[in-house]
Amino acid sequence: MAYDKFTVLKSTAVPLPIENVDTDQIIPARFLKATTREGFGDNLFRDWRYNADNSPKQDFILNNPIYSGKILVGGTNFGSGSSREHAAWAIYDYGFRCVVSSFFADIFRGNCINVGILPVQVSPTFLQKILSSIEADPNAQFEINLPDQTITNITTAEKELFDINGYKKNNLLNGFDDIDYLQAMKSDIAAFAEARDM
Amino acid sequence: MSNKLSTLFDKVWDAHVVRKIEDGPDVFFIDRHFIHEVTSPVAFLGLQNRGVGVMFPKDTFATADHNTPTINQHLPVADPLSNIQLKALEQNAAKYGISHWGLGNPKNGIVHVVGPENGITQPGMTIVCGDSHTSTHGAFGAIAFGIGTSEVEMVLSSQCIMQPKPLKMRINVNGTLGKAVTPKDVTLYIISQLTTAGATGYFVEYAGDVFERMSMEGRMTVCNMSIEMGARGGMIAPDETTFAYINGRELAPKGAAWDKALAYWKTLKTDEGAVFDKEYSFDATDIEPMITYGTNPGMGMGISKSIPRGADLKGGTATYEKSLNYMGFHEQDQMIGKKVDFVFIGSCTNGRIEDFRAFASIIKGRKKAEHVTAWVVPGSHIVEQQIKEEGILDILTDAGFLLRQPGCSACLAMNDDKIPAGKYAVSTSNRNFEGRQGPGSRTLLASPLVAAAAAVTGFVTDPRDLM
């Protein structure tokens, strides 16, 4: 699917310092009934964000106008649970382009990259400092530099390297996706399949 | 690598690598692809937008399960959005020549129940589905795991996905399981020891005599829950139990093809001395019937114990407190004696015949507690049929239970079977996340025996007291 290329992102961030944020919280199953991928942002964190009568929960971070930005900062083991790519779609559709955590669940991490969201895994210490910087100043800025694979806490000028494999990095930098790659090697795949069938 | 010894996982993985991308994932070939109504429509839309087709439609199998009602399946699906998704699956399957077991089809049921029971799932295969509990199929010595919708589109269009090879973990459980300790208790115990992130980045092999003695149904329960400790999947080496289960099933190999397959399957085991990146060993006698008390599957404990203090656990306390508040529980509470409002037996974790046999063994000659609402949901029509043939339906009926029709049901609050806010449900499913079974619902994960004990007493009850 087409997404905006990712190079350097400088933005404020929204803190969600909760551990084990699972994909049922990111988007509950009852909102997975669409047959297209648009509009999931409206139900991002639905049951944390809204009361049963659809009024906003005032104490939830997304309902606090002080916090905004294209970076979502979560607690450890972010995105555990279901394989629903809708969770990544919801985060993207809401306007985030990067999720920062000290640990990501596996399927969620892959889904993010496939839809154009950069998952940035940082050390627990660095994560704490990011959260402190936001707490001290909700307008604190962060820079995510994909070519250099760095995240910078501009307030403290601290920088950390993050990991991403070269192939996926190239995809994000150029807006490529895996399907294009696989389509280009279909004859190899067909030959492989035939050899397996023998 | 100088070590030429291979694990079961290595053998199956390496046989499916079409291309290794330098500083990137492997192009990984998929033998069997299951699709369902929720995670496939956008993938089909992607195919249409790109103008590409389905490469091997005969290796893709569609079944409707997440959105389907579990009563009155002969009537049109009432929820318009669910109906559109179910129709989309049917139309997409027809358009691309994919077999489709929709509502009303005698083969319909939960994707991870019908795949194995029809002989589609076989040792040594790679199997994916847009559902994290695809790990279930690892019970047969297959590499099976859940994928996102972009990957569903990849498999449809090229029969491959892009995957870096995970690290390898082995979990050994040896010894004799105690009374009323089922495969579900074994997996809940392992997850409670490893936490929900303890196996993230790994693919697990389960080994030891506990798994060797386990039925295929039990092995499926264990492998199903692998994802709940973060593992992409879990697998068990195929053996005579596996072969006996597969033999004769509709889509299993027959005749000469069976002999050839069997010879290959017998090679699928970890070489003596092969090295794992991480290894855990547990003693079967340490495991008792389990129940969860919190909002992730790692928050489980022996049913006779009391809820641990947050301070005694590794990890943060803020989330622990949030979790107990959601559940309405307190540190040091006993779980036994807590009032139960709902009981759900079913799902891809515990929706197979053996699970209903276990459930029936406790409720036989007893009555459902009046204040409990029970949903008894077979994993497939084939399971439903077995329940009837074995006389389990009569036991259920006599005890005041209604047998529903197959589907994912109350596991995920996507269809009509939802647990109301604030209510407690003892559930044989796989996840106890906040709101998993309905907004505000409170889930206690457990085995079919613990579910049955709760259903007849109306309270969390040690099943050993009823046996």
Residue A197 has pLDDT above 90, yes or no: no
Task: Kindly state the average pLDDT of the residues B253-278.
Answer: 98
pTM: predicted TM-score of the whole model, two decimal places: 0.97
* CB-CB under 8 Å, B42 with A37: yes
Structural domain includes residue A2: no
Residues B295 and B149 in one domain: no
Among all residues of chain B, which has the CA nearest to that of A112? B148
Structural domain includes residue A173: yes
Over the stretch A124-162, which tens digit does the pLDDT of each residue have? 999 999 999 999 999 999 999 999 999 999 999 999 999
Structural domain includes residue A3: no
Biggest CA-to-CA distance, chain A: 65
Residues B338 and B263 in one domain: no
Residues B320 and B295 in one domain: yes
Which tokens hold the place of B240? 């005579």
DSSP tag of A61:
G
Measure the CA–CA gap between B126 and B29, rounded to whole angstroms. 7
Measure the CA–CA gap between A148 and A136, rounded to whole angstroms. 27
Structural domain includes residue A104: yes
Measure the CA–CA gap between A130 and A123, rounded to whole angstroms. 11
Residue B18 vs residues A187, A189, A196, B159: alpha-carbon distances, Å: 11, 7, 11, 11
Amino acid code (one letter) for B227 = I
Residues B265 and B355 in one domain: no
Residue B414 vs residues A38, A39, B136: alpha-carbon distances, Å: 19, 18, 21
Instruction: Give the closest of B19, B42, B436 to A36, CB-based.
Output: B42
Residues B177 and B299 in one domain: no
Residues B102 and B234 in one domain: yes
Residues B295 and B399 in one domain: yes
Over the stretch B266-290, which tens digit does the pLDDT of each residue have? 999 999 999 999 999 999 999 999 9
Which tokens hold the place of B32? 């069997």
Q: pLDDT tier at B318 (50, 70, 90 boundaries)?
A: confident
pLDDT, mean over chain A: 96
What are the respective helix, strand and coil percentages of chain B, to the nearest 5? Answer: 35, 20, 45
User: What's the length of chain B?
Assistant: 467
Residue A123's domain comprises 8-197
Instruction: Give the closest of B22, B85, B319 to A35, CB-based.
Output: B85
Over the stretch B358-410, which tens digit does the pLDDT of each residue have? 999 999 999 999 999 999 999 999 999 999 999 999 999 999 999 999 999 99
- pLDDT for position B2: 46
Residues B406 and B460 in one domain: yes
Residue B1 has pLDDT above 60, yes or no: no
Over the stretch A182-193, which tens digit does the pLDDT of each residue have? 999 999 999 999
Residue B297's domain comprises 291-466
Structural domain includes residue A27: yes
- pLDDT for position B334: 98
Residues B280 and B300 in one domain: no
3-state secondary structure of A151: strand
Residues B252 and B311 in one domain: no
Residue B119: CATH number of its domain: 3.30.499.10
Nearest chain B Cα distance for residue A64, angstroms: 20
Task: Kindly state the average pLDDT of the residues B209-215.
Answer: 98
Amino acid code (one letter) for A185 = M
Measure the CA–CA gap between B64 and A126, rounded to whole angstroms. 44
Structural domain includes residue A75: yes
Above 0.85 for ipTM, yes or no? Answer: yes
- Residue A184 forms contact with B (CB below 8 Å): no
Total structural domains in chain A?
1
Name chain B contacts of A186, Cβ cutoff 8 Å.
55, 158
pLDDT, mean over chain B: 97
- Residue A38 forms contact with B (CB below 8 Å): no
CB B29 within 8 A of CB B160: yes
* CB-CB under 8 Å, B27 with A81: no
Measure the CA–CA gap between B82 and A32, rounded to whole angstroms. 9
3-state secondary structure of A118: strand
3-state secondary structure of B121: coil
Biggest CA-to-CA distance, chain B: 64
Instruction: Give the closest of A32, A85, A106 to B200, CB-based.
Output: A106
Measure the CA–CA gap between B308 and B299, rounded to whole angstroms. 9
Q: pLDDT tier at B3 (50, 70, 90 boundaries)?
A: low
Q: How many CA atoms lie within 13 A of B360 on its CB side?
A: 21
3-state secondary structure of B257: helix
CB A82 within 8 A of CB B132: yes
Q: Could you write out the DSSP letters of every residue in A175-198?
A: T--HHHHHHHTHHHHHHHHHHHH-
Nearest chain A Cα distance for residue B432, angstroms: 10
Among all residues of chain B, which has the CA nearest to that of A32? B38
Task: Kindly state the average pLDDT of the residues B427-439.
Answer: 98
* CB-CB under 8 Å, B29 with A192: yes
Final residue belonging to a domain, choices B233, B255, B288: B288
- pLDDT for position B315: 60
Residue A96: CATH number of its domain: 3.20.19.10
Total structural domains in chain B?
2
Chain A contacts in chain B segment 72-91 (CB below 8 A): 79, 81-82, 84-85, 88
Which tokens hold the place of B349? 């974790």
Task: Kindly state the average pLDDT of the residues B97-105.
Answer: 96
- pLDDT for position A1: 56
- Residue A29 forms contact with B (CB below 8 Å): yes
C-alpha torsion angle, residues A73, A74, A78, A83 (rounded to 10): -60
Measure the CA–CA gap between A82 and B338, rounded to whole angstroms. 29
Angle (nearest 5°) at CA B354 between B208 and B269? 30
Over the stretch B54-93, which tens digit does the pLDDT of each residue have? 999 999 999 999 999 999 999 999 999 999 999 999 999 9
Residues B147 and B249 in one domain: yes
For tokens 């495991």, name the residue: B287
Name chain B contacts of A115, Cβ cutoff 8 Å.
150
- pLDDT for position B316: 58
- pLDDT for position B347: 98
Which tokens hold the place of A106? 């596996």
| Ranges of H-type helices in A116-185 | 124-136, 166-174, 178-184
For tokens 């049929």, name the residue: B385
Final residue belonging to a domain, choices B288, B319, B334: B288
DSSP tag of A162:
-
Final residue belonging to a domain, choices B234, B269, B288: B288
Over the stretch B4-32, which tens digit does the pLDDT of each residue have? 899 999 999 999 999 999 999 999 999 99
Residues B202 and B305 in one domain: no
